[in-house]
Structure 1
Amino acid sequence: EKLDGFPQDMLIAAEKTHGMDGEEEKAIVENLERLSGHGFERLMMEKELDAIVTPGSDFAAVLAIGGHPGISVPAGYDEDNDGMPIGICFGGLKGTEPKLIEIAYAFEQATLIRRPPSLKSDSEDGNGSVTPLLISSQ
Protein backbone atom coordinates (compact mmCIF):
# COMPACT_ATOMS: atom_id res chain seq x y z
CA GLU A 1 0.00 0.00 0.00
CA LYS A 2 2.90 2.37 0.69
CA LEU A 3 4.99 2.17 -2.50
CA ASP A 4 5.85 5.85 -2.92
CA GLY A 5 9.55 5.29 -2.20
CA PHE A 6 9.75 2.12 -4.30
CA PRO A 7 8.56 2.83 -7.84
CA GLN A 8 8.29 0.09 -10.47
CA ASP A 9 11.39 1.31 -12.37
CA MET A 10 13.49 0.87 -9.21
CA LEU A 11 12.33 -2.76 -8.92
CA ILE A 12 13.14 -3.41 -12.58
CA ALA A 13 16.62 -1.83 -12.22
CA ALA A 14 17.35 -3.89 -9.10
CA GLU A 15 16.21 -7.04 -10.87
CA LYS A 16 18.87 -6.47 -13.57
CA THR A 17 21.76 -6.48 -11.09
CA HIS A 18 23.89 -9.47 -10.15
CA GLY A 19 24.06 -8.82 -6.44
CA MET A 20 27.30 -7.86 -4.77
CA ASP A 21 30.25 -7.82 -7.13
CA GLY A 22 32.65 -5.45 -5.37
CA GLU A 23 35.23 -6.09 -2.69
CA GLU A 24 33.66 -3.44 -0.45
CA GLU A 25 30.32 -5.26 -0.41
CA LYS A 26 32.00 -8.60 0.28
CA ALA A 27 33.96 -7.04 3.17
CA ILE A 28 30.76 -5.64 4.65
CA VAL A 29 29.06 -9.05 4.54
CA GLU A 30 32.12 -10.74 6.08
CA ASN A 31 32.12 -8.15 8.89
CA LEU A 32 28.41 -8.71 9.51
CA GLU A 33 29.00 -12.48 9.67
CA ARG A 34 31.81 -11.92 12.17
CA LEU A 35 29.67 -9.61 14.28
CA SER A 36 26.83 -12.11 14.16
CA GLY A 37 29.01 -14.92 15.47
CA HIS A 38 30.92 -12.87 18.02
CA GLY A 39 28.10 -10.56 19.01
CA PHE A 40 24.60 -11.88 18.55
CA GLU A 41 25.34 -15.58 19.05
CA ARG A 42 27.58 -14.91 22.04
CA LEU A 43 24.96 -12.65 23.64
CA MET A 44 22.23 -15.26 23.16
CA MET A 45 24.33 -18.06 24.65
CA GLU A 46 25.93 -16.14 27.53
CA LYS A 47 22.60 -14.68 28.67
CA GLU A 48 20.73 -17.95 27.94
CA LEU A 49 18.10 -16.08 25.93
CA ASP A 50 15.27 -17.72 24.03
CA ALA A 51 14.93 -14.69 21.77
CA ILE A 52 15.99 -11.13 21.27
CA VAL A 53 13.34 -8.53 20.52
CA THR A 54 13.77 -5.31 18.56
CA PRO A 55 11.35 -2.66 17.35
CA GLY A 56 10.70 -2.60 13.63
CA SER A 57 12.43 -4.90 11.20
CA ASP A 58 15.90 -3.35 10.91
CA PHE A 59 17.47 -6.23 12.86
CA ALA A 60 16.20 -8.69 10.24
CA ALA A 61 19.28 -7.93 8.11
CA VAL A 62 21.61 -9.00 10.92
CA LEU A 63 19.59 -12.17 11.41
CA ALA A 64 19.58 -12.94 7.68
CA ILE A 65 23.33 -12.46 7.25
CA GLY A 66 24.01 -14.89 10.09
CA GLY A 67 21.40 -17.37 8.89
CA HIS A 68 19.35 -16.87 12.04
CA PRO A 69 15.55 -17.11 12.13
CA GLY A 70 13.40 -14.10 12.81
CA ILE A 71 9.71 -13.33 12.90
CA SER A 72 7.98 -9.96 12.82
CA VAL A 73 4.50 -9.32 14.17
CA PRO A 74 2.36 -6.18 14.54
CA ALA A 75 3.06 -4.17 17.67
CA GLY A 76 1.01 -1.07 16.98
CA TYR A 77 0.01 1.49 14.39
CA ASP A 78 1.32 4.94 13.53
CA GLU A 79 -1.90 6.92 13.43
CA ASP A 80 0.05 10.01 12.30
CA ASN A 81 1.07 8.05 9.18
CA ASP A 82 -2.29 6.72 7.91
CA GLY A 83 -2.28 3.86 10.41
CA MET A 84 0.94 2.35 9.07
CA PRO A 85 1.67 -0.86 11.02
CA ILE A 86 4.62 -0.86 13.41
CA GLY A 87 6.23 -4.23 13.88
CA ILE A 88 8.30 -5.97 16.50
CA CYS A 89 10.95 -8.50 15.51
CA PHE A 90 11.86 -11.62 17.48
CA GLY A 91 15.16 -13.27 16.55
CA GLY A 92 16.91 -16.39 17.75
CA LEU A 93 19.68 -18.86 17.16
CA LYS A 94 19.64 -21.37 14.33
CA GLY A 95 17.15 -24.14 14.97
CA THR A 96 14.94 -22.12 17.33
CA GLU A 97 12.12 -21.46 14.86
CA PRO A 98 9.48 -23.35 16.89
CA LYS A 99 10.35 -21.33 20.02
CA LEU A 100 10.24 -18.04 18.08
CA ILE A 101 6.82 -18.89 16.66
CA GLU A 102 5.63 -19.73 20.16
CA ILE A 103 6.94 -16.43 21.54
CA ALA A 104 5.53 -14.36 18.66
CA TYR A 105 2.15 -16.07 18.96
CA ALA A 106 2.09 -15.44 22.72
CA PHE A 107 2.85 -11.75 22.06
CA GLU A 108 0.03 -11.56 19.50
CA GLN A 109 -2.44 -13.21 21.87
CA ALA A 110 -1.40 -11.05 24.82
CA THR A 111 -1.73 -7.78 22.88
CA LEU A 112 -4.47 -8.59 20.35
CA ILE A 113 -3.18 -5.57 18.46
CA ARG A 114 -3.36 -6.93 14.91
CA ARG A 115 -6.00 -5.41 12.64
CA PRO A 116 -6.94 -7.19 9.41
CA PRO A 117 -5.73 -5.22 6.38
CA SER A 118 -8.25 -3.34 4.28
CA LEU A 119 -7.95 -2.80 0.57
CA LYS A 120 -8.49 0.84 -0.20
CA SER A 121 -9.40 1.94 -3.67
CA ASP A 122 -7.92 5.07 -5.17
CA SER A 123 -10.63 5.03 -7.84
CA GLU A 124 -13.64 7.30 -7.66
CA ASP A 125 -16.14 4.48 -8.14
CA GLY A 126 -14.95 2.71 -4.97
CA ASN A 127 -15.09 -0.71 -6.61
CA GLY A 128 -12.15 -1.96 -4.55
CA SER A 129 -9.84 -2.34 -7.52
CA VAL A 130 -6.13 -2.42 -6.76
CA THR A 131 -3.30 -1.41 -9.08
CA PRO A 132 -1.08 -4.47 -9.53
CA LEU A 133 2.67 -4.41 -9.02
CA LEU A 134 4.24 -5.78 -12.19
CA ILE A 135 7.32 -7.98 -11.94
CA SER A 136 9.26 -8.73 -15.10
CA SER A 137 11.61 -11.65 -15.68
CA GLN A 138 13.34 -9.79 -18.52
Structure 2
Amino acid sequence: MIKEYGQEVFIFAEATNGFGPKEEKALATLAEWSKDGFDKVMVEHKLDAIITPGSSFSTVLAIGGYPGISVPAGYDKDGVPFGICFGGLKGTEPKLIEIAYGFEQATQIRKPPTL
Protein backbone atom coordinates (compact mmCIF):
# COMPACT_ATOMS: atom_id res chain seq x y z
CA MET A 1 0.00 0.00 0.00
CA ILE A 2 1.29 3.46 -0.88
CA LYS A 3 1.31 5.90 2.00
CA GLU A 4 -0.25 9.28 1.28
CA TYR A 5 2.42 11.95 0.60
CA GLY A 6 5.22 9.52 1.41
CA GLN A 7 8.34 8.91 -0.66
CA GLU A 8 6.59 5.86 -2.11
CA VAL A 9 4.17 8.16 -3.95
CA PHE A 10 7.03 9.92 -5.70
CA ILE A 11 8.72 6.64 -6.59
CA PHE A 12 5.44 5.29 -8.00
CA ALA A 13 4.82 8.51 -9.99
CA GLU A 14 8.36 8.51 -11.34
CA ALA A 15 7.81 4.99 -12.70
CA THR A 16 4.94 6.18 -14.91
CA ASN A 17 4.79 8.51 -17.89
CA GLY A 18 1.58 10.09 -16.58
CA PHE A 19 -0.49 9.00 -19.57
CA GLY A 20 -2.92 6.13 -19.56
CA PRO A 21 -5.82 5.31 -21.89
CA LYS A 22 -8.07 8.00 -20.35
CA GLU A 23 -5.43 10.71 -20.76
CA GLU A 24 -4.68 9.65 -24.33
CA LYS A 25 -8.39 9.81 -25.19
CA ALA A 26 -8.72 13.25 -23.55
CA LEU A 27 -5.76 14.57 -25.56
CA ALA A 28 -7.19 13.18 -28.79
CA THR A 29 -10.55 14.80 -28.01
CA LEU A 30 -8.88 18.16 -27.27
CA ALA A 31 -6.94 17.97 -30.54
CA GLU A 32 -10.16 17.22 -32.46
CA TRP A 33 -12.05 20.07 -30.78
CA SER A 34 -9.15 22.44 -31.42
CA LYS A 35 -9.00 21.50 -35.10
CA ASP A 36 -12.76 21.80 -35.57
CA GLY A 37 -13.14 24.81 -33.29
CA PHE A 38 -10.44 27.33 -32.51
CA ASP A 39 -8.18 26.51 -35.49
CA LYS A 40 -11.13 26.54 -37.87
CA VAL A 41 -12.44 29.91 -36.67
CA MET A 42 -8.99 31.50 -36.85
CA VAL A 43 -8.28 30.19 -40.37
CA GLU A 44 -11.75 30.72 -41.87
CA HIS A 45 -11.89 34.33 -40.70
CA LYS A 46 -8.19 35.02 -41.36
CA LEU A 47 -7.69 36.25 -37.78
CA ASP A 48 -4.33 37.20 -36.31
CA ALA A 49 -5.66 36.94 -32.76
CA ILE A 50 -8.71 36.44 -30.61
CA ILE A 51 -9.13 39.04 -27.89
CA THR A 52 -10.88 38.51 -24.58
CA PRO A 53 -11.22 40.63 -21.44
CA GLY A 54 -9.31 39.43 -18.40
CA SER A 55 -6.93 36.52 -18.33
CA SER A 56 -9.31 33.59 -17.88
CA PHE A 57 -9.10 32.70 -21.60
CA SER A 58 -5.39 32.01 -21.17
CA THR A 59 -6.33 28.77 -19.39
CA VAL A 60 -8.36 27.62 -22.39
CA LEU A 61 -5.48 28.52 -24.70
CA ALA A 62 -2.98 26.65 -22.52
CA ILE A 63 -5.10 23.49 -22.47
CA GLY A 64 -5.13 23.49 -26.29
CA GLY A 65 -1.41 24.33 -26.49
CA TYR A 66 -2.05 27.77 -28.00
CA PRO A 67 -0.04 30.87 -27.16
CA GLY A 68 -1.58 33.80 -25.34
CA ILE A 69 -0.44 37.06 -23.85
CA SER A 70 -2.17 39.30 -21.31
CA VAL A 71 -1.51 43.01 -20.92
CA PRO A 72 -3.02 45.79 -18.78
CA ALA A 73 -6.26 47.17 -20.23
CA GLY A 74 -7.75 49.44 -17.60
CA TYR A 75 -8.92 49.91 -14.03
CA ASP A 76 -12.26 49.24 -12.40
CA LYS A 77 -14.16 51.81 -10.31
CA ASP A 78 -12.05 50.91 -7.26
CA GLY A 79 -8.78 51.35 -9.14
CA VAL A 80 -8.09 47.63 -9.44
CA PRO A 81 -6.31 46.84 -12.72
CA PHE A 82 -7.68 44.37 -15.26
CA GLY A 83 -6.18 43.02 -18.43
CA ILE A 84 -6.92 41.89 -21.94
CA CYS A 85 -5.78 38.58 -23.43
CA PHE A 86 -4.64 38.05 -27.01
CA GLY A 87 -4.62 34.43 -28.19
CA GLY A 88 -3.50 32.89 -31.45
CA LEU A 89 -2.58 29.75 -33.30
CA LYS A 90 0.51 27.72 -32.55
CA GLY A 91 3.62 29.47 -33.87
CA THR A 92 2.11 32.98 -33.78
CA GLU A 93 3.93 34.17 -30.67
CA PRO A 94 5.84 36.94 -32.52
CA LYS A 95 2.57 38.30 -33.96
CA LEU A 96 0.88 38.20 -30.55
CA ILE A 97 3.77 40.07 -28.94
CA GLU A 98 3.57 42.67 -31.71
CA ILE A 99 -0.18 43.08 -31.22
CA ALA A 100 0.11 43.28 -27.42
CA TYR A 101 2.94 45.81 -27.64
CA GLY A 102 0.94 47.90 -30.11
CA PHE A 103 -2.05 47.85 -27.76
CA GLU A 104 0.10 48.92 -24.81
CA GLN A 105 1.70 51.74 -26.79
CA ALA A 106 -1.63 52.97 -28.17
CA THR A 107 -3.47 52.96 -24.83
CA GLN A 108 -0.65 53.90 -22.42
CA ILE A 109 -3.04 52.57 -19.76
CA ARG A 110 -0.52 51.01 -17.39
CA LYS A 111 0.33 53.06 -14.31
CA PRO A 112 3.34 52.05 -12.21
CA PRO A 113 2.22 50.94 -8.76
CA THR A 114 2.66 53.38 -5.90
CA LEU A 115 5.15 52.31 -3.26
CA distance in structure 1 between the partners assigned to 2:28 and 2:80 by the alignment: 34
Q: Is the 8 A contact 1:52 1:90 kept in 2?
A: yes
1:116–1:39 Cα change, 3 Å? same
Cα offsets for 1:25-53 (capped at 9, x unmatched): x5766654433222111111111111110
Summarize the Cα distance change of 1:30–1:79 in structure 2 as closer, same or farther, 3 Å threshold. farther
Cα distance in 2, alignment partners of residues 61 and 30 from structure 1: 18
Q: 1:117 to 1:28 in 2, by over 3 A?
A: farther
Percent identity for Structure 1 against Structure 2: 65
Unaligned runs of 5+ in 1: 1-17, 120-138
TM-score relative to the length of structure 1? 0.61
1:43-92 Cα deviation digits (max 9, x unpaired): 11111111110111111111101111100001101123xx2211100001
Structure 1 or 2: more helix by fraction: 2
Structure 2 equivalent of residue 8 of structure 1: none
RMSD: 2.7
CA contact (8 A) 1:70 1:91 kept: yes
Contiguous gaps of at least 5 residues in structure 2: 1-12
Count of residues in correspondence between the two structures: 100
1:103 is aligned to 2:99: yes
